[in-house]
Amino acid sequence: MKIRNILLLVLIPCLSLFAQNELSKVGTSMGQFLKLGAGARGTGLGDAYTSMTKDITALYWNPAGIQKIGTRALGLSRTQLFAGITYDFLGISTPVDGNTTIGFSVLYLNSGNMEMTTIDEPEGTGTSFTAASTAIGFTVARRLTDRFDLGVTIKYVSERLFREKASTIAFDIGSQFRTGIYGIKLGMCLANFGGKMKLDGPDLSKDVKNDQTGITYEGGVRWKTVDWPIPLVFRLGISDDLIGENGILLRSGKNRLTVSMEANDPTDFYLRYNYGIEYEWNKIIAFRAGYKANYDEADFTAGVGIDFSKIGLNGRLDYAFNNYGLLGYVHNYSFQFNF
């Protein structure tokens, strides 16, 4: 496949970014947890990670990226959100052959215990409940040429509020392309392409009592719920090494400086932009910073990562924090082990 043909496949979808309707669609989709980044390296880079990702968290950012891992990998991540909410990621991948890798991932958001209140008991009923969201995915990534990787994920998405639940099936499709032009790498991902979700459960039914006869009709009235789509997101990213083994400004075997930029276009919000920079010394320790533009609260991010492979442990530990403005700082911890 010629380079110009691959470039057209990667770049043509981004034209929709410039033709978007400026009408706000905030609050028009379920499954908002699907837009929360997974893993401390990507979030430390301000979510500008679609073109760079080549670790286990590629199962979230861009499924094509797991093809670059090369070995079996296991990764865990926890994000400590505001108000006691936690957001966890689990991923595992294994090569099938030199050109194909498969993976399995779980995203889980949990609200923690919340006190139940009613109209009759506004101070609390003495019981508690939780709200939880889950996405379970299976991924296949394949190297189509020596420069072009493609990945597809099918996932089951569900949300639960007390005893009410909604679910659907969705797909992610992503690609990464090494242009061969000054080391530039392109990444594209269309995430959360799927059906709609509608809450349903036993608590939507309410007994009705006939005041004249005194007869109670169990489940006589049922609250009606509306189905909502999940947030379809298109991400297009570009990255390059300014300093490194193939750096465009300086060649160095011990130092690497990578910059990345990304356009993030969700169906339920305006077009957003992400910027990241990462400095790595001797493939041991890395420092990261990022910026998110056109978000409600999030803006600056930062992080650090340590690779233990040079001391005999084939693993990496990463930390990141995100500034969510009035909501405070959000901390993310992740670990990956290759075996």
Helix (H) or strand (E) holding 4: helix 3-11
pLDDT, residue 269, reads 85
- Written as six digits, the tokens of 220 are 């006589």
- How far apart, in whole angstroms, are the C-alpha atoms of residue 81 and residue 185? 32
pLDDT tens per residue across span 150-191: 999 999 999 998 888 999 999 999 999 999 899 999 999 999
Question: What's the whole-number mean pLDDT along residues 237-255?
Answer: 93
Fill in the amino acid letter for 70. Answer: G
- Written as six digits, the tokens of 32 are 């908002």
Collapse the DSSP code of 260 into the 3-class scheme (helix H, G, I; strand E, B; otherwise coil) and give the result: strand
pLDDT tens per residue across span 180-225: 899 999 999 999 998 899 888 887 877 777 666 666 666 667 788 8
- How far apart, in whole angstroms, are the C-alpha atoms of residue 167 and residue 174? 23
pLDDT over 50 (residue 267): yes
Q: Residue 307's CB: how many other CB atoms inside 10 A?
A: 19
Domains of the chain and any CATH numbers: 38-116+129-195+230-338 (2.40.160.60)
Collapse the DSSP code of 28 into the 3-class scheme (helix H, G, I; strand E, B; otherwise coil) and give the result: coil
- How far apart, in whole angstroms, are the C-alpha atoms of residue 161 and residue 164? 5
DSSP string covering 148-206:
EEEEEEEEEEEEEETTEEEEEEEEEEEEEEE--STT-EEEEEEEEEE-EE--B-GGGEE
Collapse the DSSP code of 3 into the 3-class scheme (helix H, G, I; strand E, B; otherwise coil) and give the result: helix
pLDDT over 60 (residue 293): yes
Closest among 72, 73, 77, 55 to 64, alpha carbons compared: 55
pLDDT over 70 (residue 47): yes
pLDDT band at 143 (very low <50, low <70, confident <90, very high): very high
- Written as six digits, the tokens of 94 are 């294994």
Average pLDDT, the chain: 87
Closest among 179, 93, 86 to 131, alpha carbons compared: 86
Helix (H) or strand (E) holding 41: helix 40-44
- How far apart, in whole angstroms, are the C-alpha atoms of residue 47 and residue 57? 12
pLDDT, residue 125, reads 81
Phi, psi dihedrals of residue 213, rounded to the nearest 5°: -100, -20
b/e per residue 213-230 (b: at least 16 CB within 10 A): eeeeeeeeeeeeeeebbb
Q: Residue 47's CB: how many other CB atoms inside 10 A?
A: 29
Question: 161 - beta bridge partners?
Answer: 131, 164
pLDDT over 90 (residue 83): no
DSSP string covering 6-26:
HHHHHHGGGGGGGG---S--T
